[in-house]
Every structure is written in C-alpha cells, then in structure tokens.
Chains A and B, each alone.
Chain A
Amino acid sequence: MNSLLAELSGDFLPRFLVGMAVNFEIAVVALAIGLALGMLLALGRLRGGAAGVAAASAVTLMRAAPTFVVMFFLLNALPREASLFGMPLALSGVMTVALSLVPYSAAYVSDAGLDALRHWRDGSTVGALLFLPNVTRAFFVLVMSSSAGAAIGVTEGITVILRQAEQLHSLDDRLLLFALGIVMFGIPLQLGFALIGLVQRSLGRRAAVTDEASA
C-alpha cells in the first residue's frame, strides 16, 4: 500500500474526483434526455393503438441496442459536418457517451413511467411515486455505465484510474489502485441504493396505512 501511495502522482485524487464528476455529468444528461423521451413513449404506450404499437416497438429496439455499440456508432457513423436545425452537430466525447446511454435510459423511464401512469390512473399515488426511486436507480446505473467513455478517450473516473495504472509497475499496486477505484465508485452507489431502499420502505409504509384506512 505504501509503495502504491509513493507511486501515485500528487494530483491523482483531484483528477479522479474531476473524472467522477464527468461520470455524474454524463448520467445527468443521459437521464434528462431519457426522461423526456421515455415519458413520451410511456404516454404513447398507455394510449395504445398505432401510437402504442410504435412506442412499444421503439422501446424494444432501444432495450436491445448495446450502449457500447451505440457509442461507436455515434462516433463513427455520424457525419462530421452534420447539423440539426442549422446548428452544427459535432458531438463532444461527453455528449457521445451521454447520447449512447439514452436508448437505455429512455427505455427504462418508459417502463417505469408506464407503471407509474397506470398506478396514477388507478388512484394509487404511492404506487405512482415509486417512479422516483426507480429513476434514481437508473441514474446510478448510468453513472456506472458512463465509464464506457474510457474507450473513446473521455476523461472520466475510470480513465483517470487506468492512466494512473499504466504507470505502475507491479500487478499488486495496480490491483490496489483498482480496489481504490471500486471503493470510490462504490460509496456513492451504495449510498444511493440505501437511499432508494429508505424511500421505498417509507412509501411501502404509507401504502399500508392508506390500504388500512380505505379498508
């Protein structure tokens, strides 16, 4: 451990934290777009008919599209001089990763949103509120998945760890550094999951109280 600390560059921790902030930034962007798109799809599925079939088909495709392949598709298949409504559409690395996560987040939000809308329609506010912990769970999955950006050179948390690891000579030191990375990623993740559990238990208790009152 001492040899690892000796070999770690002085600015490793600040660089890692900045990198992790990029992971969160990617997740926020992916979730924001996924929420907008996913809720539209959920409404389409709830409505049924042709719109429902189209929305369900889109969700099936989005569920099946692997994030990593979508990322390389966006990176390589989009023309460099592409534009949208006259605005240049040159994607940064961060935006490429964020957009590659949109199919997953939109499909997830669509499923969770559809459940919430059905609960809402059936008069179960508490059931509909389960949408919030579900979206929070998706957010943390997105944070973890954003590490795929390492493959295209985005300087996120895992990229910082891997660059540092390349300069370490012993396997033991590298494994220790990786373990450090797991702890650093694990803390917010496990705290997030604990928070989700807390919210779900609270909602469960409220649901039970509501059920008893209505009985």
Chain B
Amino acid sequence: MRRLLAVLTGWLIACGLFLGLSPLQAQPANSPDAALARLLDQARARLPGACSQPNADRLIKILCAKRIRIGVRDYYPLFATRNGDQREGYEVEVALAIGRMLGVEVEFVRVNAATRIPLLAEDRIDLVIATMGHNSQRDSQVRFIRPHYYQSETSVVAPRVLPIANMNDLPGRTVCVTVGNISNAELVSRGARLMLFDEAGVLPDRLKDQTCTLAAQDDSFFAYYFTDPDFAQRFFPKFAFAQVPWGMAVARQGSDELARALDLISQIFHRDGLFLDIARSQRIGTTFLEQQQRVWRKPECNTDSGATNPACVLAPLAAELKPTPFAGAVSAFESWLDSHADIELSLPMLKTAPAWSMFQEGVLNSLILIVGALIATLAFALLFGAAMGFRVAPLRWLARLVTVTLQSSPIVLTLVIAAAIVHAFFTYSDAVALAASIAALGLANGSNAGQALSEAVWSLRAERTTARGFDLFTRALGRSATQIVAFLVNAAKGTPIASFIGAPELLSALTDITSFSSGRATTYTLLLVFYTVVVIGVVWLCGKLRLYLEGRQRRAEAVA
C-alpha cells in the first residue's frame, strides 16, 4: 500500500513537473521556470564538448554522466530509510524529483552526520539531502540551496505525567541530548544538565527504559516515534525551540551552475506544492511547507532572483561562536603537537569565548565548592563532635540519630534532598545549587568526622583526664586528627558529584562545552588531572593540619 502510494505520488509529481516546465505553458522571462529552462538548455548545448573539460561545473558533469550522486541517510525514519535496495522517505522522494527535473538517474550514496560534508568536498557526491540544518558555521563549508526544503526545531520529549511546560521548568533537570547538537548550548544556558549520547537513535529507548526523563532532539526525528501508539501514550513533546531550516547542499567549489539550477528547482517545488505533496505522502509535518508555499507564490519571490531575495529566503541559524583572542595560538599548538608528537589534542574550552567563559567559571566554582565543603565539613564535625560528646543524653542521642541517618544515605541522595529543600525556599540559581552542595557535603562528611571527635572525647574521659571543657575538646581534636583529615579529603574528593544537582562546577562546565564542540577525550582527561592535582593539594594541606593538631595534643599531654 505504501509503495503504491509512493508510485502514485511519483507520477503526480512527474505530471506536475511536466506541466510546470512545459513550454506550452507561457512563463514570464524572469520566472524561475524560464530561468531554469535557459540554464539547462545552455548547459546541454555545451555537451558533449564540455564533458572532457577538467574544470567543468558539476551540472555539466551530471548531464554528461546522466546521473546525479545524492547523499542521503540510511536510517532517519520518515525522511530517509533503506530496506535492502529500497529507499523511502521525504528526502528520497525529493531526490528522485530533482533527478526527474534534471533528466538524469539518481544514484544514492549513504551519508551520516559526520560524512555528509566531507563526501561533498571529496567529490564523492554531487548533492546532499540529509537532514542537514543550515547554520552560519556550515555556510563556510558547503553551498546551501535556497529556499530550504524543510525546517525542524528541537523538541523536548518527556513522560506525559511530568509537569514540564517550557524552558523555565528545566533548571536542575537532566536532558538527554546528542553530542554536537547546536541547540545544546541553549539548554545549558537555561540551567539544564545534559546527558550526552553519540547517536539520536538511542534516545527513544533511553526514554522507555527511564535512563532519560527528558530528551531533546529534532521534532522531525521524534515524529516517527510518535506514530507508535505505545510511545505516544507514554510520552509527549512538551515544548520546542531553536528552529533551524534544513538545506540541500553542494560543494562550494565547481558547483555554481548546479547550485543555481537547484535553487530554481527548489523555488518551483515550493511554489507548485511539490514539497508539500511529498511531505503529505510521507506523513510528516507540513506547517513550514505550507507557509513556504505562500511565500514562493508571491510575485516578488516567484522570480529568477527570488533565491537571493532576503525578503523571501530564510536566514541560517546563527551558530558561529566568537573565538577567543588566543584561539589561533591554541589551534597552532594542537597542530604542532599532532605533527611533532603524533598526539591529537583538542582544547575546545580555549577556542571559543562562551566555552572559555564557562571553563573559567567552572574552575572558580570548583575551587569555591572545595573550600566551602572543607569549611562546612570542619564546622559540622565540631558541631556533631560537641553534641555527641555532650553529657546531656537527649542531645547526644539526637546528634547520634542524625549521624546514623546521614551515614545511611548515599551521597547522591543526600545532595538531592538538600537541593529539594533549598529549592523549596529559594529560586533556582547557581549560588543556591552551590550552597546546597556545600551543605550536603559538609553534613555527610562532618557527621562522620564529628563521630570520630566525640569518640576521642569519650576515650579521654575514660582515661580520667583532668582536662575539661574547651581544653578537653582541643585535645580530642588532636586525638581524632587522622579521622577528621580523612573526611576533609573525602569532602574535597566528593565535590564533583555536586554537578548531579546542577552545581556549576568544572565537570558540569566541561560536559556543557563538549556537548556543542569536539574533544571529549582531551577534555575529560584534563578534568581528571585537575581534580586529582587539587585533591593531592588538599591532602598535603590537611596533612599539615593533622601534624599541627597532633603536635598540640602531644604538648598538652606532656604538660598534663
């Protein structure tokens, strides 16, 4: 049935193309149809002589070979899928329609997100139609065909029961995304935490097995999954953002005439509703295409210069990140290291201004978190130590109960509880997340250290020491110094886990940076080195503190 529908659609499109290009139908000289006919006539007039010219435009090469090599995806449901030799989907049908327009065969070549641009540059394909968003970054790599053939936006999908309505509900929540998605930066800027995946294909499964509570990806990607009643019953697209037009693209070099022909074809397809017919036959969203048809039917757009008219075409998504003043030097260093030591180093955090800013803030916040956690641990240790060393039993029991509770709570749970309580009283912010993390880490480690301190107090009492009050307490501090230092070190080591509740420390910052740039291996290696060095520093400082406390205790015992 589906194949029959595709054949019928093909015939309808072919008939539409025939009528659209028929010389019987009078067209103004400046219409896109007339311009396309002139362009193709002129190109064909140069055959076969131009076929042997090495610098011939790709349009000439296509007409000579009587085939066009089009890069499409193998598995992007509703847009391009492959089952053996059979391909179907919106992009496949568009590719076939373009082949018919040019009067050539279509040879499909498999591409994916990573290969679609390199294959164009290497002249292994003539055209790519592969769910490629048109952003300003890619403009320097390929020549996009205007007008765009589709538009998607990033859809945030979640279980129906989850109370999520817009971006304001995201702070503190984890969103599953794919690495390199341009909309990741916006999610990060709105306070969401990201869980990164390499391929979009795994996201629906991760939603189903509850690994992900929220997932963000192109609405066109999720469209297929929402055709599954089970999926649609459990999940819902809560909101969408970051609209990006999809563009067909050709190589920047040697494709001027081909690009011009495709611009005109795209204009005609929009105006005559061919994109729309194909979209309807493939059951994908048509809102954008309907709006575009209205645009390309306007007299001012339906001309041979419509594709360059800013009032008619859509602007690409602005995705260029401002480079840092030293980005060039960093790139040069990376190249030098690669060529001299064969080490592939990538330092994305030093190359663009937003990444550099996030990196600096991450380092600063990590240091604040570590210092805060150390101070809080020491303060809670003294508090719990005093309470559990107190002779008044109810106070001692209460402190003991709190300690046992904190010991029984995994640190992740303690952090979540602290965040839930703090967020009930304060609006979410970076400072609030940091404060909640410091309190949780301080309580978890301070209660254990406090227990050691109180045990030292009771052991001194058991030895019938003459020391009382503050003097007894300082001697107990010396006796329990090793344990206290161990928990201080533990607190410092535990600080990266604060990223779990959205504390903007270095792990969070680098995860965010790598979500929209490359260099994950280097980034996480540097992160490991950073924290290991910092913890070694804390161990060294705490060792000094332990020696000081133990020295005081020895002197006090010598005096006693």
A190 CA to B532 CA, complexed, in Å: 31
> With an 8 A cutoff between CB atoms, is A66 at the interface?
yes
Task: Give chain A residues whose Cβ lies under 8 Å from the Cβ of B168.
Answer: none
Contact (Cβ within 8 A) B198 A80 = yes
> With an 8 A cutoff between CB atoms, is B178 at the interface?
no
CB distance from B491 to the nearest CB of A (A): 11
9-residue interface stretch from B116-124, B234-242, B517-525: B517-525
> With an 8 A cutoff between CB atoms, is B206 at the interface?
yes
CB distance from B170 to the nearest CB of A (A): 13
Contact (Cβ within 8 A) B161 A73 = no
> With an 8 A cutoff between CB atoms, is A131 at the interface?
no
| Total B residues in contact with A, Cβ cutoff 8 Å | 50
> With an 8 A cutoff between CB atoms, is B189 at the interface?
no
With beta carbons under 8 angstroms apart, the residue of B212, B409, B416 that contacts A185 is B409
Contact (Cβ within 8 A) B213 A166 = yes
A64 CA to B532 CA, complexed, in Å: 5
User: Smallest CB-CB separation from B536: which chain A residue?
Assistant: A64
User: Smallest CB-CB separation from A62: which chain B residue?
Assistant: B532
Task: Give chain B residues whose Cβ lies under 8 Å from the Cβ of A171.
Answer: 420-421, 424
Which of A65, A80, A159, A165 is the most central at the interface, judged by chain B CB atoms within 10 Å of its CB? A65
Task: Give chain B residues whose Cβ lies under 8 Å from the Cβ of A152.
Answer: 195
CB distance from B355 to the nearest CB of A (A): 16
CB distance from A59 to the nearest CB of B (A): 12
1/0 per residue, CB under 8 A from A, across B417-431: the answer is 100110010000000
User: Smallest CB-CB separation from A162: which chain B residue?
Assistant: B416
9-residue interface stretch from A30-38, A113-121, A140-148, A202-210: A140-148
Q: Check A67/B493 contact, CB under 8 A, given A185-B410, A189-B408, A190-B408.
A: yes
Q: Check A167/B410 contact, CB under 8 A, given A76-B524, A150-B500, A153-B212.
A: no
CB distance from A93 to the nearest CB of B (A): 8
Interface of A is mostly: helix
CB-contacts of A59-89 with B (<8 A): 60-61, 63-70, 72-73, 75-80
Task: Give chain A residues whose Cβ lies under 8 Å from the Cβ of B520.
Answer: 76-77
Contact (Cβ within 8 A) B405 A182 = yes
Contact (Cβ within 8 A) B416 A178 = yes
Contact (Cβ within 8 A) A147 B411 = yes
> With an 8 A cutoff between CB atoms, is A181 at the interface?
yes
Task: Give chain A residues whose Cβ lies under 8 Å from the Cβ of B209.
Answer: 155
User: Smallest CB-CB separation from B523: which chain A residue?
Assistant: A76
CB-contacts of B455-485 with A (<8 A): none
Q: Check A175/B420 contact, CB under 8 A, given A69-B507, A166-B213.
A: yes
> With an 8 A cutoff between CB atoms, is B210 at the interface?
yes
CB distance from A142 to the nearest CB of B (A): 11
CB distance from A133 to the nearest CB of B (A): 17
CB-contacts of B117-151 with A (<8 A): none
Contact (Cβ within 8 A) A190 B404 = yes
> With an 8 A cutoff between CB atoms, is B266 at the interface?
no
> With an 8 A cutoff between CB atoms, is B407 at the interface?
yes
A191 CA to B409 CA, complexed, in Å: 14
Task: Give chain B residues whose Cβ lies under 8 Å from the Cβ of A126.
Answer: none
> With an 8 A cutoff between CB atoms, is A163 at the interface?
yes
Task: Give chain A residues whose Cβ lies under 8 Å from the Cβ of B213.
Answer: 163, 166
With beta carbons under 8 angstroms apart, the residue of A61, A76, A77, A165 that contacts B196 is A76
Q: Check A79/B413 contact, CB under 8 A, given A166-B162, A182-B408.
A: no
With beta carbons under 8 angstroms apart, the residue of B161, B195, B420, B528 that contacts A174 is B420
With beta carbons under 8 angstroms apart, the residue of A76, A155, A157, A185 that contacts B521 is A76
A203 CA to B216 CA, complexed, in Å: 57
> With an 8 A cutoff between CB atoms, is B531 at the interface?
yes
Task: Give chain A residues whose Cβ lies under 8 Å from the Cβ of B196.
Answer: 76
Q: Check A153/B535 contact, CB under 8 A, given A66-B496, A72-B507, A183-B408.
A: no
User: Smallest CB-CB separation from B539: which chain A residue?
Assistant: A64
1/0 per residue, CB under 8 A from A, across B207-222: the answer is 0011111000000000
1/0 per residue, CB under 8 A from B, across A163-197: the answer is 10111010100110010011101100110000000
Listed from nearest, the 5 A-B pairs whose CB atoms lie closest are A186-B408, A153-B211, A147-B410, A64-B535, A147-B412
Partner-B contacts on A (CB < 8 A):
60-61, 63-70, 72-73, 75-80, 144-148, 150-153, 155, 157-159, 161-163, 165-167, 169, 171, 174-175, 178, 181-183, 185-186, 189-190
Q: List 25 A-B contacts (CB under 8 A).
A: A63-B539, A64-B535, A64-B536, A65-B528, A65-B532, A68-B499, A69-B496, A69-B524, A72-B507, A72-B524, A76-B196, A76-B514, A78-B521, A79-B521, A147-B411, A148-B497, A150-B500, A151-B412, A166-B213, A167-B159, A169-B163, A171-B424, A178-B416, A186-B408, A190-B407
